[in-house]
Chains A and B, each alone.
Chain A
Amino acid sequence: MAAPSEQVRAPVASGLVKAHTYAAFVGLVLSALFGLAVSVKFHVPEFLTNHAALTWGRLRYDHTQGILYAWLGNAFLAFIYFSVPYLTRRPVTSERLGWWMFFVYNFVAVLGGWTLVLSGVLQPLEWAEFPLVIAAILELCFVLMIVQFAIPFLRCGASDLYVSGWYLLGGITFTTLAYPLGNIVPHELPGAMGAAFSGLWIHDAVGIFITPLAVAVEYFVITAVTRKPIYSHFYSMVGFWLLFLVYPLNGIHHYIYSSLPMMAQHVSEAASIYQGIDVILVVTNLLLSIGLVAELFVLGDVPLRFVWTSIVLYLVVSIQGSVQAVMSFNSFIHFSDWVIGHSHLAMIGFASFAAMGGLGHLWQRMPRVRHNRRAMAWSYWLLVIGLGLMVVDLTGAGLVQATLWRRRLPWIDSVRASRPYWAFRTVDGVVLLAGFIVFGLSFVTGPRNPEGLLGVAVDSKAQHLPSRERSQYWFTTAYAATFGAGVLFFFLSFLALGVYPAIRLHQAIRRDTPPHADIALTASEQRGAHLYAIDGCAYCHSLQVRFTPADEWRFGPPTQAWETQNEYPQMWGTRRVGPDLARESGKRPSDWQLVHLYDPRYIVPDSVMPSYPWLFHGSPDRPNQDAIDLVAYLNTLGRAESEIHPPEKKVIYVLPVNPSADDLDEGREVFRANCSGCHGKNADGHSIGGRSLRPVAFNLAGFKLSYALIWRSLEAGVPGSSMPSWICLPSAEFQAVADYVASISKAGALAERQRYAPDPALMQAGRRVFQTHCVRCHGEDGLGDGADGLRMVPRAANFHEIEPSYAVAAQVIQNGVPGSGMPAWPLLTPSEIQAVTYYIRSLYDGKSGEYTERPAPAMPMEGTQ
């Protein structure tokens, strides 16, 4: 037998390692740029808004898919190509296959996926946004990865397998099985049932694709640098098995408090806690493996420093994740930026730092390449600082948002409060991008490594085994166990969190669907749903009201499984920047939606929502078919439920008040923040948004309004108009803005010299004009109860609670009110208009509405959960 030094060597496929490393950096920088653009849009909403391809949603899709596949996928593939020969003493199956995979993975899957997403061909499934055709190609790549990397393990003939090998094999096997679940199944199973499978993949993408590969890197680099065995193989094995048992069971914790079966939610909650326990064990082992040499190696070896940081942050992010899954805490923090901070901590702090440690480690050993230790050390500190700032920033933003959402405040208040955090997040992002670039530069600058050949001596023991013996051997060794672990635990999670909820939901849907529920979508509405999907709307506006008091108060009844049975795929969402839209039907008229889509800041000045000008022919009143379809879809959200259980009518209670100057100042501020978008800064209805609505925004300054009318409109909105309910305002602000509106609504008297006739004559002529032209709508007594007026939405004006000024009345009579039942009366003469105005004003008594003492303060929601 040949001496070891003369044995056949298993070379490392250096070309593939380099190619995937370079691809990883290109992917990282591009993905980070996508993320940076997304971040800028939060505080500069008009940034890159003129083309659908650059809208927030699509850039966001490319950001996350890029980080997952272009960056981490390539980085881990580079590491696997490097490490497999060391772990197996065998080369990978085929370098030719490797190059084929490289081109397909990067130039077809990643580049093709990015391009298709930007052009609107995508699926609105979290961590699965690339369209189905790309998903199929990626699945093919995963299968080929098994061929490429599992065969060396099978061939190596070693009776055991270092723990890095366990994680590599388990991760690749499991990912290949789980990937179709999140990508394909939601197209076949609707709504809640699809959400169960989506949840499975959302967590598997991180827990089963990324985590095992990152832990494999950590175990590998630690022993390679310290040149010591790990602290405990016992811990490593228990940790491995726990990870593959409990991680896949976490999935549904993304949909806690939803209509998914409570048992499945509890399983995911318990599994999430056990996941934290597992990570404590793994991290204990990893840190003890670095052990006493920590000071020497963590400070001296930059890749190990990346790995050490990754390990520490793995612990932090996992404990954080476990806590987030506890239902009582989840009810508070879910949908907020806290979760975004958590995901950045996971994908950068844990996964990317591990990948960088792996790449840095292997690059130091690659022949003939440059590596710059100093630049890598600089990148480490830039990334630590950038990430630290970002996580603290987003965590703070999440706490603020979660707190405000539980208070009696308009949704837009949480947006306003978040803007400084979002601006700061862009600064953090720039620091991170700089760190990524410097890290990449450390691979192409600095001294050049010596010539050489990477490889390891082949252990040919297995090659000499008889085939029969070898086949038995395979079934009794570690790689078989690892492969079995992947398959077994995959099916366990598939049954527990996929099949079981689907069966229970199917039963619930059959049982609960009302006989005449209108849940089918028209062709136009279906096209609208597609637009909602491809522009990423669900990533800011979730479509699920949860079973929590805060959600029910703010949005309405919780979303039930039967309502979602036509959602292919589901768009429940896991994040709220804007309000949930699952109960949007009937809340706002279509013209409001159109203006809001054309430019949200026309009517909500502090909105950060992107504009969608490509849905219009140049102005909000000229929508194209896409805009009409999208609004049609919005009007279906919650329609079936509201038709079956119409919202209860509220009773109006009003207290007359005498506001102080402070009250009016406060009211002015509330008005400026919430009302001026439509009604204009001067409350005269002159704003771009207000004039675009139908009916146009009300000119508050041109009418005197009864206090009851103001109160009622604020409380319940004005049906048929864009005026929403402002019941969400705190009591004090509600009252203040009511007082302010009452103070500005004026209807000045007519100067003596402007009169066409004495008062009695004006009264007589006005009554005659009114009875000739106005009673059909406004009624005999001007109460707005005429035969035609009762059928109008919004109702015809009740002149006992609305007193127009002469100037505004003339304007309205001559021009009509666009979008309402009030037509123009161009043939009336100025004297007739003055007369009828005089008569109408005489009707005003300002006393309509109920005046009832109410003792109870209506205060915020804290403490109710």
Chain B
Amino acid sequence: MVIAEDGVCDARSGALGIGGFYGSLQWARTRDAMPGQAHHAFSVKQRAYVAILLVLGAVIAFLAVRTWSPASALSQPAPAANATPTARSAR
């Protein structure tokens, strides 16, 4: 008896064309094709989702990097705690 899982990985057909990022997307087109289609144009929904995520990442990364710089951090006032403890009235 052979315990096989044919079709499990579903990646046995279709031509890649060339390697690399573009090639992998070409392959993905063939894999995402509906039955009977040779290729599949990625849906607007899928493209939009990817685009939104990429733009979102860029915006967040830009904002995060902008929130801090060495100059701004080092120009912050010295911690008050560096001062000497004083009278009980300070409590």
Interface stretch, picked from A71-79, A127-135, A172-180, A446-454, is: A446-454
Report the Cα distance A857→B88, complex, angstroms.
Answer: 9
Central interface residue in A159, A164, A552, A727, by most chain B CB within 10 Å: A159
Report the Cα distance A223→B7, complex, angstroms.
Answer: 9
Report the Cα distance A115→B51, complex, angstroms.
Answer: 50
- Tell me the smallest distance from the CB of A758 to a CB of chain B, in Å: 43
Given A549-B76, A653-B86, the answer on whether A165 and B25 have CB atoms closer than 8 Å is: no
> Are B53 and A454 neighbours in the complex by a CB distance under 8 Å?
no
Report the Cα distance A162→B23, complex, angstroms.
Answer: 13
Q: Does residue B8 face the partner (Cβ distance < 8 Å to A)? A: yes
> Are B15 and A277 neighbours in the complex by a CB distance under 8 Å?
no
Given A266-B65, A277-B53, the answer on whether A453 and B2 have CB atoms closer than 8 Å is: yes
Residues of A within 8 A of B67 (CB): 326-328
Kindly count the residue-residue contacts between A and B in the assembled complex, taking CB atoms under 8 Å apart.
Answer: 230
Q: Can you list 5 A-B contacts (CB < 8 A)?
A: A234-B28, A273-B57, A327-B64, A858-B85, A865-B73
Q: Does residue A464 face the partner (Cβ distance < 8 Å to B)? A: no
Residues of A within 8 A of B64 (CB): 269-270, 273, 326-327
Contact residues, B1-48 vs A (CB, 8 A): 1-21, 23-25, 27-32, 42, 46
> Are A455 and B14 neighbours in the complex by a CB distance under 8 Å?
no
- Tell me the smallest distance from the CB of A35 to a CB of chain B, in Å: 33
Given A273-B61, A281-B53, the answer on whether A455 and B4 have CB atoms closer than 8 Å is: yes
Residue of B nearest to A273 (CB): B61
Report the Cα distance A276→B61, complex, angstroms.
Answer: 11
- Tell me the smallest distance from the CB of A104 to a CB of chain B, in Å: 30
Residue of B nearest to A407 (CB): B81
Residues of A within 8 A of B21 (CB): 237, 241, 481
Residue of B nearest to A454 (CB): B3
Residue of B nearest to A161 (CB): B11
Q: Does residue A510 face the partner (Cβ distance < 8 Å to B)? A: no
> Are A270 and B61 neighbours in the complex by a CB distance under 8 Å?
yes
> Are B85 and A731 neighbours in the complex by a CB distance under 8 Å?
yes
Binding site for A on B (CB under 8 A): 1-21, 23-25, 27-32, 42, 46, 49-50, 53-54, 56-57, 60-62, 64-65, 67-70, 73-74, 76-91
Report the Cα distance A160→B24, complex, angstroms.
Answer: 8
Report the Cα distance A729→B85, complex, angstroms.
Answer: 8
> Are A365 and B3 neighbours in the complex by a CB distance under 8 Å?
yes
Report the Cα distance A276→B54, complex, angstroms.
Answer: 11
Q: Does residue A514 face the partner (Cβ distance < 8 Å to B)? A: no
Contact mask A325-345 → B, CB, 8 Å, 1/0? 011100000000000000000
The 8 Å CB contact of B2, one of A266, A452, A860, is A452
Residue of B nearest to A236 (CB): B28
Residues of B within 8 A of A327 (CB): 64, 67-68
Contact mask A229-249 → B, CB, 8 Å, 1/0? 110111111101100000000
Return the 4 tightest CB-CB contacts between A and B, nearest first: A162-B11, A481-B19, A857-B90, A277-B57
Residue of B nearest to A367 (CB): B3
Residues of B within 8 A of A735 (CB): 85, 87-88, 91
> Are A408 and B16 neighbours in the complex by a CB distance under 8 Å?
no
> Are A274 and B3 neighbours in the complex by a CB distance under 8 Å?
no
Residue of B nearest to A730 (CB): B85
Contact residues, A394-422 vs B (CB, 8 A): 407-408
> Are B91 and A732 neighbours in the complex by a CB distance under 8 Å?
yes
Given A227-B8, A273-B57, A864-B77, the answer on whether A653 and B18 have CB atoms closer than 8 Å is: no
